[in-house]
Amino acid sequence: MTRLAEGSATASDLAARYSGVRTETARLCDPLEVEDFGLQSMVCCSPVKWHLAHTSWFFETFVLRAALPGYRSPDPHYAHLFNSYYESIGNGSGRIYPRAQRDLLSRPTVREVQAYRQAVDRAVLDLLADRVDPGLAAILELGIHHEQQHQELILTDLKHAFFCNPLAPVYSTAPASASEPRPVATAPHFLEHPGGLVFVGHEGRDFAFDNEGPSHRVFLEPFEVAAFPVTNHEYAEFIADGGYERPELWLSAGWAKVQSEGWSAPLYWRSRAHGWEEFTLGGWVTLDPGACVCHVSYYEAEAFARWARRRLPTEAEWETAAKTSPAAGTMLESRQFHPRAVTEVAFLGGVWNWTQSAYAPYPGYRPPAGALGEYNGKFMCSQMVLRGGSCVTPRSHIRTTYRNFFYPEDRWQFSGIRLAGDA
Amino acid sequence: MTRLAEGSATASDLAARYSGVRTETARLCDPLEVEDFGLQSMVCCSPVKWHLAHTSWFFETFVLRAALPGYRSPDPHYAHLFNSYYESIGNGSGRIYPRAQRDLLSRPTVREVQAYRQAVDRAVLDLLADRVDPGLAAILELGIHHEQQHQELILTDLKHAFFCNPLAPVYSTAPASASEPRPVATAPHFLEHPGGLVFVGHEGRDFAFDNEGPSHRVFLEPFEVAAFPVTNHEYAEFIADGGYERPELWLSAGWAKVQSEGWSAPLYWRSRAHGWEEFTLGGWVTLDPGACVCHVSYYEAEAFARWARRRLPTEAEWETAAKTSPAAGTMLESRQFHPRAVTEVAFLGGVWNWTQSAYAPYPGYRPPAGALGEYNGKFMCSQMVLRGGSCVTPRSHIRTTYRNFFYPEDRWQFSGIRLAGDA
Amino acid sequence: MTRLAEGSATASDLAARYSGVRTETARLCDPLEVEDFGLQSMVCCSPVKWHLAHTSWFFETFVLRAALPGYRSPDPHYAHLFNSYYESIGNGSGRIYPRAQRDLLSRPTVREVQAYRQAVDRAVLDLLADRVDPGLAAILELGIHHEQQHQELILTDLKHAFFCNPLAPVYSTAPASASEPRPVATAPHFLEHPGGLVFVGHEGRDFAFDNEGPSHRVFLEPFEVAAFPVTNHEYAEFIADGGYERPELWLSAGWAKVQSEGWSAPLYWRSRAHGWEEFTLGGWVTLDPGACVCHVSYYEAEAFARWARRRLPTEAEWETAAKTSPAAGTMLESRQFHPRAVTEVAFLGGVWNWTQSAYAPYPGYRPPAGALGEYNGKFMCSQMVLRGGSCVTPRSHIRTTYRNFFYPEDRWQFSGIRLAGDA
Amino acid sequence: MTRLAEGSATASDLAARYSGVRTETARLCDPLEVEDFGLQSMVCCSPVKWHLAHTSWFFETFVLRAALPGYRSPDPHYAHLFNSYYESIGNGSGRIYPRAQRDLLSRPTVREVQAYRQAVDRAVLDLLADRVDPGLAAILELGIHHEQQHQELILTDLKHAFFCNPLAPVYSTAPASASEPRPVATAPHFLEHPGGLVFVGHEGRDFAFDNEGPSHRVFLEPFEVAAFPVTNHEYAEFIADGGYERPELWLSAGWAKVQSEGWSAPLYWRSRAHGWEEFTLGGWVTLDPGACVCHVSYYEAEAFARWARRRLPTEAEWETAAKTSPAAGTMLESRQFHPRAVTEVAFLGGVWNWTQSAYAPYPGYRPPAGALGEYNGKFMCSQMVLRGGSCVTPRSHIRTTYRNFFYPEDRWQFSGIRLAGDA
């Protein structure tokens, strides 16, 4: 949820941004066949169609039902089918539709879901034509950012599903791997910081999720953070040096995963006679040595850091460093759908950076009242914070204070590694 | 596999039957949305699209590749993707595509699979225009029966997937439950047989699967077999009498399943204030008391029989009784897609009858050489024989010697109960 | 359960046999440390202490409580703790103690269980001093045979638990593997039978379990059964010939098990530089090539038979052949605890012979009324029949009509292979 | 591991403390039957015998082998069997003995393990008679603290195993629940702290585990911490108020656990007509309303705090508050083996306090080189920190800087709740 961004948005501003985001989501689906909309390759993934419907359900539930007492959904079942995890939202059948079975919802069809989106859009835009009370504006703002989160998830979930298909469908023939050969970074480059008492967390009237605040003081020892994320070339050296065979490099739980899952490289790598290949949204390509490694778990990031005699940054360190250099690298707007070789310092874009910080509430954090209090707070356990966004994050969605979070074994996000150290 | 039906089929006969079966499969898909073709609700089920492709792969692999040395498939991956379980069939990637992930194959699309079917059809029909050597005819015949098996599976698998969707999609609005109210069968009616030495198994030149032979002698004690399958009304009495709460009625493994799965009625029943409802391919309907109970497991059939102080027939008893009365009840051609109330004695059609016989080779059985030897023989363990076909079995597919087989816990087939007893 | 063996046993006969069996059970525990009594290495195994208590519970429940209205158990909890699976037996807590947690019962201690056994023994012998009504005698007889079954299970379960311990404890230093080197059987030797109508099943007044009857007619085609079980040498040839790597030799479910469990030899074999070793109740020994292979699953037996271009016998064939040659080989009384090289034809003893028959009721079979009806009947599904007893079966326990049954994947029994074929 | 405590311990001091701790471990086993030493009721628990052997293995591996080149263990297998998780320690069989099968080690027997302990004790004491170089002293010190950790685990693991036995064995008849009735705490009492920059972590020359350092600065907002842990009475109110039925009180993962495990009270509570009972090492007792609640998971602690409109303390807050009030409540030396009603402020003893801090390295933390580096560091992921020790922690083992850690779902430790809030 968001702090109320009082007065900062006019109704027409909001309407324009709402329309823009909704259109962008639809545009992401242009390359898809109808059959692609229903794929769910892991329980933690959702079908594209479900993302399309769920984001609409979000506006319907928290905006339309709140503002329009007589509002009726196109289908009363949607309240049940497209609720993700809001236990506080009542529904006819008394429980949330099982996440693992989202791929069984062949109906509503893609066309029906698109009609659902349009019905919601009409109602929202009608509403915005009239008035914009601050509470409503705040929730709409939240819904827009929520939809952007799902834009990224549409791509990450689709990538995994396509990867499972031996036909290796191509989402986009954009020159994902066409970045010209470049010299592999020679020496790693670190940015030093003297530490001390710093402020961490979002402050001000712009939008931010509830979990980014309150802004608070943190004491840091002197530290350094890498100017660039770890490259594929560097990661391949880790592999070549027996990285996946040396238990002393791994957290205990990570080593257990290496063994039980047979991990020996990042999720989308495969070894061929001529070297490594990587699965991308443009299909299988030869690994670009200078590009950032991505699709590694926290365990792999942590093991790599140990091997490199460094460590991962804390989220406070990361944020402190990022504030000094808030440029953005490859993001969704590039329509590359893959990280490119990095040539200038940027903390935003490219790949998400695993931090060594467990996802926890900031001091003084209170989740909002009501169902929207479930947005972030109830996941503050057993997950690790990632920072910075990726090549499939919309530029307007990311901030240096933004906190993403996944389980330490998760690999299907565009997650990479930025090293840190004690200065 | 089949005994070679020498000379019995001319090329044009075969071509006509081939076309008819292929067309019927396509027709079964008429009511479907593109989205429905990809559903896989249990590992033991397959998407409709996969059935469409697999049956084509079967003709391609065993007929076209054998007969046409230069034959090329529309896509070389299909040999891998659409092989169900034939370990002897080599393929590029060295192993069979995982059954549990058939729903991840959004590509090839429905349209591409339909084109694949048409390409195979053209090649097969070209072949049949030329010549028909007996070996080839026999395999084509097998492929036709194989496709009919998958027609039934398309409907059973789809029914389960639709059942999982709270929207309860309707496959066919045919008056599945429109049978007028009829008096519930009063006294069960049993057909008596004096037993003795009988022949069991297929004999003669007509097509039969390899597992139906050799014909052999079996000694039977005097027995009786019910003229009609158990009705919904009778099964509801079993439930009302605590059938699912009395361990003494159940096989040990069945009772364990009742407890672990929370079974309290057949798979597709649900209890409402006004009584039982049943999910059908026409949606949810009020239970027809006079219709045959279906979608029960072997465990439930066996428990019901114990409760009724009867037993299930052996497959030898069933076949012996059925030969005396080979009429057929409701079958696929009725396009009812649901069993109706039975008013005359028929051993074929309606619901599959669980027998108390474990699926095992007949004396002298030898699987055919080569990959087709995997068709039946390698499943002869831990499954139970069902006899008689169902309301979704094509009439030309079933015989009194036909042996179907499923695991004792399986409930998603149109499986019902016919009682037997010692005379 | 047993057919009532009217008048055949006097009270003093019964008392003597009861005492003998109870003493033999105790004697089997002589080599054990207190710590060994609690081991449970698989859910399907039970701790020795549990076997000691359960067999006593059986006499207490079905004999003492029935005959002595005021009978009181040493501890009222025992009725709950030591009931194996009799759902009809009421107990305080309403459900059977979980099988998987039998190893958590450190109390009652070994000494307390021994005292329990003695208390039961005193009460039973007191009872037998007085009178012996036929019903009681029949149940006592059943209890004696039940205890013999558990004698074998004590040894098989203990063997598996010792096998799991890298220290490889030795149960008995009897010269299990000391059988002198013998020439490997040259040509397999088969006994031919012309088939025809035969009687199968127990008949007469001697004790037999309920599942051995009724005696009934079965028609057999001409067949042959091997004079000797398959030897270790022969089985090693199967392995050397790629037996565990060729899917075409295996039932589908068997091949799945080979892959998921990584099977590459019988349960207790290990490969060493100098050849195979086998774990025995005497510890690790060099494999005796002439001894019968044992600790193979049904799947392995079936695959071996296919490799050898034979098949397994049906239980009717086995029994018919065994009746002609009812000599016994190595049995429990030899105190070898391991099969030896076989030099003369014997169907009883040595290793249990897997048959190709699924465990099912004989025609006309009716389980006894009451809780004892659960003894055998409720397991008649998904298991395969084994015949003949083993080197750890008491001689007085086995018969040619005796039907043992285990799941096709089970390997921890002394189960071996006897081939058959069509004559 | 420990910072080297230079010169602080003389050889004779160490010898005395070593002997004292080893004797105390043995004494904890006095009430046990031989059968009790082998129990393992969950994979995360170990048999008492294994604890006895493992702690000896620790001294053998890190002290005796290091100091005595010719040292020979009583049995070379012990290095394999009793290594808990040190991947860096080579052993014959190449891998660590599976944790889940520790209960299968009936051999070595209890007597043999006791002999092993004595052999190790003799060798260690001989060593200490000679000399004490600082490195060796430091590792011995670590071994002593390691053994104390296992003293607590012996009791927690045994408690769970006894709980699983319907006979409810009694470890100690000490008057665990005999604390006289006391008035339930009326108003909660909170200690306020103004926050600011504080030092956290161990400093100085006394022993501490490696994970307690380095001492470092943390900035705290003003906060308050409860003077007393939550009582059973208070927790029962949470239950009575629907605590286990209201998803809004729970972390998402916690709510999933409530549902999948059917949690409705702390691990060892059961509801009886007359009220709650609690399983203790003294058997089942009536719940003492004034005693601290224990055996709750992090999820339950967190949900309780939300219900109470408070939160859990961070470990920095806890430590800061505890330093001001370092008195100790009930500890192992009381031989109560159960928390008692608390009447005076004490942060040590009684029950472990869950904190809201994920277990992570302190800034500047470096694990020691070599195998001992695996002691703590490799578990720094997905676990939560607990502070303060419990009624089964030895007094000399605990400190205000001590960091214990368990998974958020773990309940078998003596873990309780101390609330905190923003001041």
**pLDDT for C193-234, tens place per residue?**
999 999 999 999 999 999 999 999 999 999 999 999 999 999
State the pLDDT at residue B29: 98
Q: Does D112 touch chain C (CB under 8 A)?
A: no
Residue D1: inside a domain = no
Does D6 score more than 50 pLDDT?
no
Q: What is the DSSP string of A193-216?
A: E--EEEEES--SSS--BGGG-S-E
Task: Give C-chain residues touching B221 at CB under 8 angstroms.
Answer: 216-217, 363-364
D223 and D102 belong to one structural domain: no
C157 and C192 belong to one structural domain: no
As a whole number of Å, the CA-based R_g of chain A is 22
* Residue pair C321/C191 in contact by the 8 Å Cβ criterion: yes
Contact (CB<8Å) D107/C161: no
DSSP A2: B
Q: Does D344 touch chain C (CB under 8 A)?
A: no
Residue A109: inside a domain = yes
CB burial readout B92-130, b (16+ within 10 A) else e? eeeebbeeeebbbbbbbbbebbbebbebbbebbeebbee
How many other β-carbons are positioned within 10 Å of the β-carbon of residue A225? 26
- Give chain C's mean pLDDT: 93
* Residue pair D60/C63 in contact by the 8 Å Cβ criterion: no
Contact (CB<8Å) D35/C106: yes
* Residue pair C310/C410 in contact by the 8 Å Cβ criterion: no
A245 and A380 belong to one structural domain: yes
Find tokens 């006679």 and name the residue. Answer: A273
As a whole number of Å, the CA-based R_g of chain D is 22
B239 and B128 belong to one structural domain: no
> How far is residue C297's CA from residue C354's CA, in Å, rounded to a whole number?
8
CA dihedral (A40, A43, A45, A48) in degrees, to 10, reads 40
State the pLDDT at residue D179: 53
Residue D250: inside a domain = yes
Task: Give A-chain residues touching D364 at CB under 8 angstroms.
Answer: 221, 422
Which of B71, B47, B194 minimizes the C-alpha distance to B122?
A: B71
C273 and C228 belong to one structural domain: yes
Task: Give A-chain residues touching B41 at CB under 8 angstroms.
Answer: 101, 104
CA geometry: angle D368, D374, D377, nearest 5 deg: 80
State the pLDDT at residue A4: 41
Q: Does C81 touch chain D (CB under 8 A)?
A: yes
For residue B216, the distance in angstroms to the closest alpha carbon of chain C comes to: 8
Find tokens 């009840």 and name the residue. Answer: B329
Q: Does A36 touch chain B (CB under 8 A)?
A: yes
Q: Do chains D and B touch (3 or more CB pairs under 8 A)?
A: no
D135 and D230 belong to one structural domain: no
B128 and B239 belong to one structural domain: no
Task: Give C-chain residues touching D49 at CB under 8 angstroms.
Answer: 35
Residues of chain B under the 50 pLDDT cut: 1-8, 91-93, 176, 178, 181
B254 and B328 belong to one structural domain: yes
A309 and A411 belong to one structural domain: yes
> How far is residue C282's CA from residue D25's CA, in Å, rounded to a whole number?
35
Which amino acid, one-letter code, is at A56?
S
Q: How far is CA B259 from the centre of its chain?
A: 27
Task: Choose the final residue of a domain: D107, D133, D163.
Answer: D163
Choose among A220, A357, A379: nearest Cβ to D252: A379
State the pLDDT at residue B326: 77
B245 and B394 belong to one structural domain: yes
Q: Cis (ω within 30 of 0) for the bond into D229?
A: no
Compute the average pLDDT of residues D97-108: 97
Q: Distance from first CA to last CA of chain B, Å, rounded?
A: 36
Q: Does A34 touch chain B (CB under 8 A)?
A: yes
The top-scoring range by mean pLDDT among A3-12, C79-88, C232-241 is C232-241
Q: Does A35 touch chain B (CB under 8 A)?
A: yes
Q: Which of residues 155 through 214 in chain D touch C, CB cutoff 8 A? A: 161, 164-167, 169
State the pLDDT at residue A5: 44
State the pLDDT at residue A342: 85
Residue C89: inside a domain = yes
Least confident of B154-158, B174-178, D34-38, D330-334: B174-178
State the pLDDT at residue B186: 52
**CATH number of domain containing A190:** 3.90.1580.10
State the pLDDT at residue A90: 61
Does C2 score more than 50 pLDDT?
no
For residue C417, the distance in angstroms to the closest alpha carbon of chain D comes to: 30
* Residue pair C292/C230 in contact by the 8 Å Cβ criterion: yes
Compute the average pLDDT of residues D202-224: 97
3-state secondary structure B175-196: CCCCCCCCCCCCCCCEEEECCE
Q: How far is CA A400 from the centre of its chain?
A: 14
What are the C-alpha distances in Å from A71 to residues A19, A65, D66, D331? Answer: 20, 6, 77, 62
Q: In the structure, what pLDDT confidence band is assigned to residue C185 with cuts at 50, 70 and 90? A: low
Tens of pLDDT along D137-187? 999 999 999 999 999 999 999 999 999 999 999 999 865 454 554 555 555
Q: Please list the pLDDT of chain A residue by residue as tens digits (423 residues).
A: 344 444 445 889 999 999 999 999 999 999 999 999 999 999 999 999 999 999 999 999 999 999 998 899 999 999 999 999 888 876 444 578 999 999 999 999 999 999 999 999 999 999 999 778 899 999 999 999 999 999 999 999 999 999 999 999 999 986 545 455 445 555 568 999 999 999 999 999 999 999 999 999 999 999 999 999 999 999 999 999 999 999 999 999 999 999 999 999 999 999 999 999 999 999 999 999 999 999 999 999 999 999 999 999 999 999 999 999 878 999 999 999 999 988 889 999 999 999 999 999 999 999 888 889 889 999 999 999 999 999 999 999 999 999 999 999 999 999 999 999 998
> How far is residue A307's CA from residue A294's CA, in Å, rounded to a whole number?
17
* Residue pair A97/A81 in contact by the 8 Å Cβ criterion: yes
Which of D47, D49, D50, D57 minimizes the C-alpha distance to D78?
A: D57
Residue A175: inside a domain = no
H-helix or E-strand spanning residue C224: strand C223-226
Task: Choose the final residue of a domain: C103, C132, C163.
Answer: C163
Contact (CB<8Å) A422/D373: no
Residue D154: inside a domain = yes
Q: Does D42 touch chain C (CB under 8 A)?
A: no
Q: How far is CA C162 from the centre of its chain?
A: 18
Look at the alpha carbons of B127, B128, B132, B136 in this order and tell me if their dihedral is positive or negative. positive
Residue D5: inside a domain = no
Least confident of C135-149, C361-375, D282-296: C361-375
* Residue pair D414/D295 in contact by the 8 Å Cβ criterion: yes
As a whole number of Å, the CA-based R_g of chain B is 22
The residue range of the domain holding D236 is 184-422
Give the whole-number percent of chain C exceeding pLDDT 70: 93
State the pLDDT at residue C369: 85
Contact (CB<8Å) D408/A85: no
Does C6 score more than 50 pLDDT?
no
Residue D173: inside a domain = no
Which of C250, C355, C307, C297 minimizes the C-alpha distance to B377?
A: C250
Where do runs of H (alpha helix) occur along B193-285?
232-240, 252-261
What are the C-alpha distances in Å from C141 to residues B419, C217, C374, D161, D361? Answer: 35, 27, 17, 37, 68
How many other β-carbons are positioned within 10 Å of the β-carbon of residue C203? 15
- Domain count across chain C: 2
Beta strands, E only, B253-305: 269-272, 275-280, 283-286
Helix (DSSP H) and strand (DSSP E) numbers for chain D: 10, 12
Q: Distance from first CA to last CA of chain A, Å, rounded?
A: 36
Beta strands, E only, D209-288: 216-220, 223-226, 269-272, 275-280, 283-286
Compute the average pLDDT of residues D239-244: 98
Task: Choose the final residue of a domain: C128, C163, C198.
Answer: C163
For residue A366, the distance in angstroms to the closest alpha carbon of chain D comes to: 10
Beta strands, E only, D117-215: 190-193, 196-200
Q: Does B378 touch chain C (CB under 8 A)?
A: yes
Which of D326, D316, D304, D399 minimizes the C-alpha distance to D355?
A: D316
Helix (DSSP H) and strand (DSSP E) numbers for chain B: 10, 12
Chains that touch C (3 or more CB pairs under 8 A): B, D
Task: Give A-chain residues touching B81 at CB under 8 angstroms.
Answer: 166-167
D69 and D125 belong to one structural domain: yes
B78 and B221 belong to one structural domain: no
> How far is residue A331's CA from residue D320's CA, in Å, rounded to a whole number?
44
State the pLDDT at residue D195: 97
State the pLDDT at residue B242: 98
- Give chain D's mean pLDDT: 93
